[in-house]
Amino acid sequence: MDDFEVRQHLADLTVVVYSRNRLGYLHGVVKYWSRWPVSVIVLDGSDQPVDKESFDAGEARLILHSEISINGRFSFAASQLDTPFACLHSDDDFTLARGAAQTIAWLKANPEISCVASDVLVFTESRESAGVDSGRSVMSEEPGQRLAEHFSDYRFSYFYGIQWASHLSIALNAVVEATACREFVEYPDDAAGYELGMEICGAALGRLSKSPDVLLLKRVGNESRAAVAPGSNEWLEDPNAQLAVRAWRSILSQHLAPHLDDSESTVDSQIAEAMRLFCQQEKIKEQERARTLQLISAIARFLKPKSNTTRETQSSTLTSLLHRSHTFSFRALRGTYRASMKALFRPRPNVFTISELGCADPLDLQDVITILDGNYDRSKV
């Protein structure tokens, strides 16, 4: 697809960017889109509102809304979506322009598909990168079947996908009201309320296809929070959270039912079943992790070197050679364990760089690198 065709399709796209107190990142995203005729809605939640005049939006149509409340910002975005297609991302992400244009062209030819997602490319400040298996297909025809299909093997996909703007608007409004109700406010869980809420709405409203190309780049960050934050399944199953869960689910159902031509009670039951499958899957994952840790712990206890006192009293059975062997094996196992724990909660970069990947348009990637390196001059592009 040449740049003329890319521009034609991108004129039908609104990019919604939510940001808070990261002006440098936000400027980079606006710069990236400034050479394309897209609409960009910046949802600024900074303590000090950003100045629209500080941005050079170029050919993009920039709409800036400053408000601390994320719900207020999402409501504003939902009211402003006036293009056929939209995508949502944070200020540390890049949705790739040429890949987005190809996706929009495909969606126009396949209107029965609601959203297109892909795996995510995570990158570091040094431009190293690693793929994250995220995108997937959800192709069942019935909303209840799609919800079950998506959440029985859950990976976030609709949240950051490129989709019909009307569906994103419905999802944003539904999630805003569901997370603003009194019961949720008194016993909240933002990960469940927002991410799972958006995914529920996406799966209920339409089918999802997976792109063979990476469409989204995410900057490495927030690993420490991810490592200690409780899973959304804990909130869904917490006895003290049940009033909040039911109220949140009920409001989502109220918003979705008219678009699904079904009753609120039916939609609510479908969402409840999807959340049951989600919790079941998370428990299986937790059990697998626990078994792995138990095995490592058992081996470590066996290999852990004995103290000097114990070694002296057992000198007849534990030789110096065996002791040294235990010490070496224990240290090696401990190092492997620590590396594994880091890998669980922090995407570790592979040896290739972002510019060497073949899973996205190389021109898209080079545009991002140029902006990240501070060498961007729109007049020379």
Per-residue pLDDT of 22-40, as tens digits, reads 999 999 999 999 999 999 9
Supply the pLDDT for residue 371.
Answer: 86
d(CA 322, CA 94): 54
Going edge to edge, which strands form the sheet with 129-132?
A: 93-95, 216-219, 120-123, 129-132
**Comparing 50 with 350, which gets the higher pLDDT?**
50
Q: SS3 of 268, please?
A: helix
Supply the pLDDT for residue 253.
Answer: 98
- Residue spans per domain, the chain: 1-96, 110-301
Does the pLDDT at position 111 exceed 70?
Answer: yes
Across residues 331-340, what is the average pLDDT? Answer: 59
pTM for this model (two decimals): 0.81
- Look at the alpha carbons of 195, 199, 205, 208 in this order and tell me if their dihedral is positive or negative: positive
Mean of per-residue pLDDT scores for the chain: 85
Tokens of 92: 């540390």
Amino acid, single-letter form, for residue 314: Q
Amino acid, single-letter form, for residue 38: V
1-96: CATH class: alpha beta
Beta strands 113-117 and 61-66, pairing class = unpaired
Query: Distances from the Cα of 175 to the Cαs of 64, 227, 237, 293, in angstroms?
Result: 21, 25, 20, 37
Tokens of 168: 């994103």
Q: Which runs of consecutive H residues, i.e. helices, occur in 139-241?
A: 143-151, 165-180, 182-186, 190, 197-205, 223-228, 232-237
pLDDT band per the 50, 70, 90 thresholds, residue 262 = very high
For 179-233, how does the pLDDT look when each residue is reduced to its tens digit (9 = 90+)? 999 999 999 999 999 999 999 999 999 999 999 888 999 988 644 333 334 578 9
Tokens of 162: 């490129």
For the chain, the first-to-last Cα distance in angstroms comes to 18
d(CA 254, CA 355): 46
Supply the pLDDT for residue 130.
Answer: 82
Across residues 2-31, what is the average pLDDT? Answer: 96
For 344-374, how does the pLDDT look when each residue is reduced to its tens digit (9 = 90+)? 444 444 433 554 445 677 888 888 888 888 7
Q: Which runs of consecutive H residues, i.e. helices, occur in 304-348?
A: 308-313, 320-345
Amino acid, single-letter form, for residue 158: Y
Return the closest-CA partner of residue 131 out of 199, 223, 195, 213: 213
d(CA 370, CA 360): 16
d(CA 356, CA 124): 14
